[in-house]
Amino acid sequence: MTNAPPPPTTAAQSARTILTRLHEVMASRTNAQGKLNQVVGIIGECLHSEVCSIYLLRDGALELYATRGLKQEAVHVTRLALGEGLVGTIAQQIETLNLDEAAAHPDFSYRPETGEELFHSFAGVPIIRREQAVGVLCVQHSDPRRYEEIEIETLQTVAMVLSELIANADLIDTAARAHAAEADQTSQRLTGQKLVDGMGEGVAVFHQPRVTIEHTMAEDIEAERHRVYAAFDKMREQIDRMASQAEFGIGGEHEEVLETYKMFAYDEGWSRRINEAIDSGLTAEAAIERVQQRTRMRMRQIDDPLLRDRMHDLEDLSNRLIRIVSGQMGTAAQLGLRHDSILIARNLGPAELLEYDRRRLKGVVLEEGSLTAHVIIVARAMGVPVLGRVRDVRTSIREGDLLLLDASAGALHVRPTPAVQEAFDAKLELSQKRRANLAVLRDLPAVTKDGVPIELMINAGLREDVAALDLTGARGIGLFRTEFQFLVSATLPQRERQQRLYRDVLDAAGDRPVIFRTVDIGGDKALPYMTVDDEALEENPAMGWRALRLALEREGLLKVQARALIEAAAGRTLNVMFPMVSEPWEYEAARQLFVGQRAWLASRGKKLPAAIRYGAMLEVPGLVETLDLMLPHLDFLSIGTNDLTQFLFAADRAHPRLAERYDWLSPIVMRYIARVVKLVSGTKVALGVCGEMGGRPLEAMALLGVGIERLSITPAGVAPVKAMIRSLDLAALRTDMPAILARPSSDPRGQYRAWAKANGVDLGD
C-alpha cells in the first residue's frame, strides 16, 4: 500500500465522510460523466485505494464508465459480459468479492488496455436498482491484501447512493433497460397447486407493491432516525394488532409467520443495523434497504430451506417498514389495476381479494393457500383462477412481467416464449369450446341416467352472484353467505343496507329458493372494524368464537340481521340457516331469536314473510350424536364439508402444509355422511351438502352414492356436475357403495375413479 491505511474508524463514519463529499458532487451542475469521474476520485482517495472504477451495464455488457488509477483510454472501451471476469461475476451473482490476489480467482479475465496488471488486491460490490445489478463499483491495490470489513461496508453503502446518482443522470435507464431486456428473454415455468380452476393472462401485479427508493442521501440524519423510530413503532403496532385479531383470522397471514414477524419486529440487532446505516448518511428508506441487501447477500450463500423461509419473512417486514416510512401504504387494489392483471401475494384475506376490480383481475398466484380457505371460496365465486403454493414467485417474477396462468395444469408461465403463448391460446380456445358445450346443459334437467332427480343449487355471497342462477340454470341458491357483505364493507353494514341486499337477491331469484345463512364471521374471515376483548383472544380461531357462537353472544348483530331478513322476505318464503351449530340448544336459541323478531315486527304492523323455514349446518362432527333431538325442529339440514372435514381430521383447512394431506373421498368422510343420511331418512328434513366438495364431479358422484340428492355448489361446478349426474346410473352405484365403504382401498380416489370409468360416468376429463 502506498498510502498509510486510514485510521481505525467505524464503517458508518467512513461512509459518512464519502457521502458528505458525494452530496456536493450530486448537487453540482456537472454532467453525468463529470460526476462519475469525481466520484471515483473521492472514493479512491477516502479509501486510500490506488484504483477505483465504476462499471455500468450498457447494451447487455458491463462497460467501464469511470476510473481513477486504471488507464483512461480504457474508459468506454473495456467491456465485460455478465458473468465474465470478476466484474461480470459480481453483477451476475449480485455478490461482493474481496480478494488479496485478483489474478488467482478462477473468473479473473485480464484486460491489457486497463494496465491493471500492476494491482493485486481487488474488492468489488454490485450497484443495485430494483433488486437487479445495474453496475459494479470496485477498488484495487498494488499490495496483496484483503480489504477490511469496514471498507467493504463503506463500498456497499456508497454503491446504494451511486444507484440513485446514475438513475437521476439517466444513465441507469439504458443500463436497466438493457438488463431488463436481457432478463425478459428468459421465460420460466413455475408450478403450484390448482386452487381455483381456469386460465388467465395478464401482467404481474404484487399485492403489496415494492417501493422504489428515490432518495438515498440524508439531509438531516437525526430527522431520518426519528422517521425510522416512528416507522418501527407503527410496524410493531400493526403486528401486535394482527396477532390480537387472530380471533378473526389474521388476514391470511399464517400464525407461524406472524410469530416470526413479531420476532423480527422486536429484534434489537435489526433496528441497530438500520440505525448504523443511517449514521453513515443514508435516508431511512435507503438504510432499511441497505441492511436488507446485506442480509440478502449473506443468505444467498446459505442453502437451508428453513432459513430461506425466514428470509422471506424478513423481506416482507423490511418492505412493510419501507412502505410505512415512505407513506406508501396502499395495496395494489387501492392503487387500482390498470391492465388485465395476475395478482401475486404470499397469502390474502377474503376481504382483501374482494377489493380488486373483477374486470381486470385475471388470476391470482399465492405462495401459500389451500383449497377451502375462504379467500379461495371468494375467488371461486368471483370466477378468478388461483394457483397456490408456488415457490419462488417473488424471486422469479418482476412487477409488469407477462404471465400466463394455467391453473388447471398447475402451471404459471412467466415471460412466455411465442411458442408457449401459442400453446396457451390453443388450450384456452379448447376450454372455451368445452364450456360452450357444457352451456348446452343449462336447460336440461339434473336427472341421473336411471331417472333420479337431483337438486342442484349454487352457493353465492355477493349481489352479482345471483346472475349465475340464469347462467347455470341452477334451481336456487342453497347457500348465501351473508358475511361476504360484512367482509367487503369498511364498517359494520347497517340494517337498511343488509335488507336492501337481501331484497335484491330475492327479487333477482324470483320464485327460485334462496337459503340465507346468518353471519359466519371469525375463523379466517376477519372483520377489521370489529374489535375483540382481550380475554376472548384465542390461539385456534377456526375452533373458537365464531359463527353462531359469536352471533348468539353479540345478540344485537343477529337481531339486526334477523329483522333485515324477515322484512326483506315480506310476502315470500324466507329460508334461514345457522352455521357451526354444535349443540341443539344453540340452534334453538337462534331460531327463537328469529321467532321473537318476527313477533316484534308483527306487533308493529310490518308485512311478514309467508313462511319462515329454518335449517342448520352440520359442520361440527359431534352434532350427529344429538341429531335425533334436533330433527323434529328442523326444516332442512346442510352438511358443510369444508368445516366438517377440518374437524373430522383435526386439520386446519387453511394450513398450506395440510392442504393435500386428507382426501374428501376418504372413508372417514364418506362413512360419516352415509351415517347422517341414514339418521335423516324417513324424516321431513331436507338434507343436502353445501361444501366445496360437491362442486367436483367425482366427489359429487360419491355423495350421490351415499344417498345425498341435494347439492349446493360453486356456479362453475354446475355444468360439469350436471354432466356427471346425467351420465350416472345411480342405482348401480348405490348397489356397489356398501362394498366400497366396507372395504375402502388405500387410494379411495382411484377406487371411485375406476368405478366411474367402468360405468361410463362423465367426469369431464
Return residues touching ligand PEP (CB under 6 A): 377, 479, 481, 520, 619, 640-643, 690-691
- The minimum distance between CB 563 and ligand PEP, in angstroms, equals 23
Assess contact for 210 and 160: CB atoms under 8 A: no
Q: Which is nearer to ligand PEP, 416 or 640 (CB)?
A: 640
Reported as type and span, the H/E element at residue 42 is: helix 32-46
Nine cell digits for residue 546: 365464531
Q: Which is nearer to ligand PEP, 114 or 641 (CB)?
A: 641
* DSSP strands (E only) in 485-572: 514-517
Q: Which is nearer to ligand PEP, 52 or 711 (CB)?
A: 711
- The minimum distance between CB 160 and ligand PEP, in angstroms, equals 47
- The minimum distance between CB 643 and Mg ion, in angstroms, equals 4
Q: Which is nearer to ligand PEP, 85 or 350 (CB)?
A: 350
- The minimum distance between CB 689 and ligand PEP, in angstroms, equals 8
> Is residue 640 a contact point for Mg ion (CB under 5 A)?
yes
Nine cell digits for residue 105: 480467482
Task: Select from 16-24, 272-280, 529-537, 633-641 the region that touches Mg ion (CB under 5 A).
Answer: 633-641
Size of the site for Mg ion (CB under 5 A): 3
Residue 181 CB neighbour total at 10 angstroms: 11
Per-residue contact string for residues 576-615; x = within reach of Mg ion by CB under 5 A: ----------------------------------------
Residue with the three cell numbers 332442512: 636
Rounded distance between C-alpha atoms, residue 592 and residue 558, angstroms: 12
Q: Which is nearer to ligand PEP, 53 or 561 (CB)?
A: 561
- The minimum distance between CB 372 and ligand PEP, in angstroms, equals 6
User: What SS3 state is found at 207?
Assistant: coil
Under 8 Å CB-to-CB from 742, ≥6 apart: which residues? none
User: Which residue's C-beta sits nearest to ligand PEP?
Assistant: 640
- The minimum distance between CB 194 and Mg ion, in angstroms, equals 22
758 Cα distance to chain centroid: 40
Q: Which is nearer to Mg ion, 289 or 524 (CB)?
A: 524
Give the type of residue at 446: A
> Is residue 541 a contact point for Mg ion (CB under 5 A)?
no
**Residue 526's binding partner out of Mg ion, ligand PEP, none, with CB under 5 to 8 Å set by partner kind:** none
- The minimum distance between CB 718 and ligand PEP, in angstroms, equals 16
Nine cell digits for residue 267: 429484534
Assess contact for 610 and 575: CB atoms under 8 A: no
Reported as type and span, the H/E element at residue 66 is: strand 61-68
Assess contact for 44 and 68: CB atoms under 8 A: yes
Q: Which is nearer to Mg ion, 192 or 640 (CB)?
A: 640
Q: How many CA atoms lie less than 13 Å away from 426 in the CB half-sphere?
A: 6
Give the type of residue at 265: A
> Is residue 643 a contact point for Mg ion (CB under 5 A)?
yes
Q: Which is nearer to ligand PEP, 38 or 482 (CB)?
A: 482
Task: Select from 118-126, 385-393, 476-484, 637-645 the region that touches Mg ion (CB under 5 A).
Answer: 637-645
Under 8 Å CB-to-CB from 94, ≥6 apart: which residues? 126, 128, 132, 133, 296, 297, 300
Q: Which is nearer to ligand PEP, 85 or 656 (CB)?
A: 656
- The minimum distance between CB 704 and ligand PEP, in angstroms, equals 18
Q: Which is nearer to ligand PEP, 319 or 641 (CB)?
A: 641
Assess contact for 671 and 397: CB atoms under 8 A: no
**Residue 481's binding partner out of Mg ion, ligand PEP, none, with CB under 5 to 8 Å set by partner kind:** ligand PEP
Task: Beginning with the edge strand found earlier in the chain, give each strand of the sheet holding 79-81 in spatial order.
Answer: 79-81, 61-68, 51-58, 132-141, 121-129, 97-99
Assess contact for 365 and 405: CB atoms under 8 A: yes
- The minimum distance between CB 381 and Mg ion, in angstroms, equals 14
Q: What is the CA radius of gyration of the chain?
A: 32
Q: Please give the angle made by the CA atoms of 465, 684 and 502, to the nearest 5 degrees.
A: 25
**Residue 641's binding partner out of ligand PEP, Mg ion, none, with CB under 5 to 8 Å set by partner kind:** ligand PEP
Task: Select from 80-88, 271-279, 349-357, 635-643 the region that touches Mg ion (CB under 5 A).
Answer: 635-643
- The minimum distance between CB 380 and ligand PEP, in angstroms, equals 11
Binding site for Mg ion (CB under 5 A): 619, 640, 643
